[in-house]
A = this chain, B = another copy of it.
Amino acid sequence: MAIKNAFYAQSGGVTAVINASACGVIETARKNKDKIGKVYAGRNGIIGALTEDLIDTSKESDADIAALRHTPSGAFGSCRFKLKSLEANKREYERLIEVFKAHNIGYFFYNGGGDSADTCFKVSQLSEAMGYPIQAIHVPKTVDNDLPITDCCPGFGSVAKYIAVSTLEASFDVRSMAKTSTKVFVIEVMGRHAGWIAAAGGLIEDQGIPVVILFPEVEFDQAKFLAKVDEMVKKHGFCTVVVSEGCHYPDGKFLAEQGSRDAFGHAQLGGAAPVVANMIKDALGHKFHWAVADYLQRAARHVASKTDVEQAYQLGEAAVDLAIKGKNSVMPTVDRISDSPYKYQIGSADLKDVANVEKFMPKDFITDDGFGITEKCKRYLTPLIQGEDYPPYKDGLPEYVTLKNVAVPKKLSEFKI
């Protein structure tokens, strides 16, 4: 059998380490040229496959591919585009197969979160449903840390570290100012349904910082929240609030919705921090400051977790290994062996068990009052932010790579999506 090429694409929100997974995929494929041909990347994710807009990664130097390991964002472009079911949109699946055939693609590496795992699972069924041999491997990535089975998701550890470090620093700042000025600092973090990122703010409590966390998993109770903040300020003179963008009232209404929705139908959130800050000001009178970290948190490669970078790379590497072993419809996973010292091995999960399953914070990770994290949660989180992995700098700025992204000549006619 002729050696098949591979297709690799980045999907959904990008992270500080998704390129480290790309680096793992491409470098491992380059080491196995007798088994895997070229790696074609989709320009802007799966859209690149549908529109036959493929990037020939073999045109990139080894040094530039290596630099992906320390470069945040998605080097080939990502997209928010969800394939419908095979029944609802057979045309798109047929097109994928046409493109795969035209470019002799036998491996489909899809680097994304929950929605992307579902897409990858659908593609993995093409062999059977449409009689084309394709091995679909999902490479996990999501700052939301909500994929099941795997111990954690690449991207999360670095956001967790960023939030813990930034919240620690801002809390030190507030503590300095609290006598005559700011007494409450509110930081808004990502996390629509799962409070993993917000939980990371709790890691600084052991440094003497009073932290009140608002999780999406806990229905917002204004009176109880204000009482908690009041208690903290009276006791410590100041207080830090970490509010998840997904924090909502019992009726499901978010503390702040911007109104628009993305391609997956999710509400675009942002602005919970000023809502919470003003609530505190109105009820308790405290001077406040608030920050919305937004993209800064998920792009913050400059303070990435070394553990996270290593796992991101290893999972990319493992995806190729699984492909070489002939696997289809799987996702490499991090399987934790011990907390301290942190030990893990790379395993794998069936995509049918991953797709459309969302992992929330376990109940015993949140304190009884709903505003903090438990020791058990700290034991889970602490290893994930371990270690620093600084990018190289030049003239004061990180040397992030921008690839050439040379297009593969098209062989098919245009396809409208």
On A, residues with C-beta under 8 Å from B are: 10, 13-14, 16, 44, 47, 71-75, 77-81, 161, 164-166, 168-170, 172-182, 185, 187, 203-204, 207-208, 260, 262-263, 268, 270-271, 273-274, 281, 287, 289-296, 298-303, 305, 382, 384-388, 390, 393, 395-398, 400, 402
Contacts and interface: CB of A to CB of B under 8 A. Distances in A.
Q: Which 5 A-B pairs have the closest CB atoms?
A: A385-B396, A73-B172, A74-B176, A169-B299, A291-B294
Contacts of A274: 270-271
Given A176-B14, A299-B172, A397 B164 contact: yes
6 contacts: A14-B173, A47-B180, A169-B299, A290-B292, A290-B294, A387-B393
A305 B208 CA distance: 27
Contacts of A305: 396
A110 to B, nearest CB: 16
Contacts of A75: 176
A37 B121 CA distance: 73
Q: State the copy count for this chain.
A: 2
B382 A386 contact: no
A339 to B, nearest CB: 12
B397 A168 contact: yes
Contact of A79 (B73, B181, B397): B181
A275 to B, nearest CB: 11
Contacts of A384: 396
Given A180-B44, A270-B290, A73 B397 contact: no
A263 B287 CA distance: 11
B393 A390 contact: no
Given A169-B296, A397-B204, A398-B165, A177 B14 contact: yes
